[in-house]
Structure 1
Amino acid sequence: MADEQPQGNGQGAAQQGEQPKQQFQIAKLYLKDVSLETPNSPEVFTGEWKPQVNVDLTSKTRALQEGHYEVALTVTVTAKQGEKTAYLCEVTQAGVFQIKGFEDAARNGLLGAYCPAQLFPYVRETVNSLITQGGFPAMVLQPVNFDALYQQRLAQAAERQKAEQAQGGGAEAKGSDSTAAQGSDTQQ
């Protein structure tokens, strides 16, 4: 019995001065840009409210200092009554994320899917608040599967690269990680 060693809490390596291999931390969340335009008010309030609503979503990533990245999620909601715009609401919620010790594919997955998913609840709340403060019925954004959007973007990039290679271009596509989605619905 005296020879048994305690199992510990799994933090032995960190306590001995070694850094954990993988680190993910939300360093800062912030509202980067916000706007609500109601170009046809107050006339838009006089008729029956049956708008066509379009939702566009975009996520952009940029590297900051070593192991730190900014991810900015922009949602644009446009509601039209016939040909007239009732409102245009645009919200960009951003965050600084510390990501260290991950392989490129895993890091890109975090930046392209996980980080935007962390920002989305803040965007949803801000969009709903702005629209209701503008005098319109509540607009609750539906859940978004950021993992599926990210996988779709990867598949599209692979197809583009394959097409470029078939045409003899062979150049790699460069740019920031981004996901984009569109939706259209009628708000009641």
Structure 2
Amino acid sequence: MADDFDFGASTGQTPLANGADTSPAAGLISQYIKDLSFENPNAPAVYQNQNAPAVDVQFNIGGSQVGDEVHELILKIEVRAESDGKVAFIVDLSYAGLFGFRNVPADQIQPFLLTEGPRLLFPFARRVLADAVRDGGFPPLLLEPIDFNALYMQSQDAQSGQTSGTMGQA
């Protein structure tokens, strides 16, 4: 019967004799709108324009440690739509999540926060943004899904290229 229980041997993580859990764990504790702003500076004239606005979307990911094993991640999305040289609408959304970590090596937290964190938050931020634009009198703005893992890998490649390039010039 004892062979039926693995006790983490296959993962290399075994419980301590005192019952303490030593396996790494990461999870989303809470998510929330930290800041939301919708501007419609040219209403009502903007609704008489039949041209579709040109939309510019900018993303930024930031975060900070807010507790011993808790980090806040903020996904900031800025949208500016213009039509015929006039602003149709501007939306600024800061959507945040609290992530808890237990037994996770420090060097693995940032990669998680820059890949998995935004991947978990983005669908909810996308909905908030679409609703705000729709409630402002425009068709909902549905953002395409983003591969945050690929973006992280690109940024790591760019940083390693700059580091090796700098070292090569010395």
CA distance in 2, matches of 1:118, 1:34: 19
| 1:64 Cα deviation from its structure 2 partner | 2.1
Q: Give the aligned length.
A: 165
| Residue of structure 2 in register with 1:66 after alignment | 68
> Which amino acid counterpart does residue 114 of structure 1 have in structure 2?
E
> Deviations along 1:95-138, whole A, 9 cap, x unmatched?
11012323344322211110011110111011001001100011
Q: Which has the higher contact order (CA 8 A, sep 6+)?
A: 1
Q: 1:114 aligns with which of 112, 116, 123?
A: 116
| Secondary structure in 1 matching 2:21 | coil
| Residue of structure 2 in register with 1:163 after alignment | 165
CA distance in 1, matches of 2:64, 2:57: 24
| Residue of structure 2 in register with 1:127 after alignment | 129
* TM-score, L = length of structure 2: 0.87
Q: Which runs of 5+ in 2 are unaligned?
A: 9-13
Q: Which runs of 5+ in 1 are unaligned?
A: 169-188
| 1:80 Cα deviation from its structure 2 partner | 0.6
* TM-score, L = length of structure 1: 0.79
CA distance in 2, matches of 1:22, 1:129: 37
| Secondary structure in 2 matching 1:21 | coil
> Deviations along 1:29-55, whole A, 9 cap, x unmatched?
111010001111111110113111111
CA distance in 2, matches of 1:82, 1:158: 42
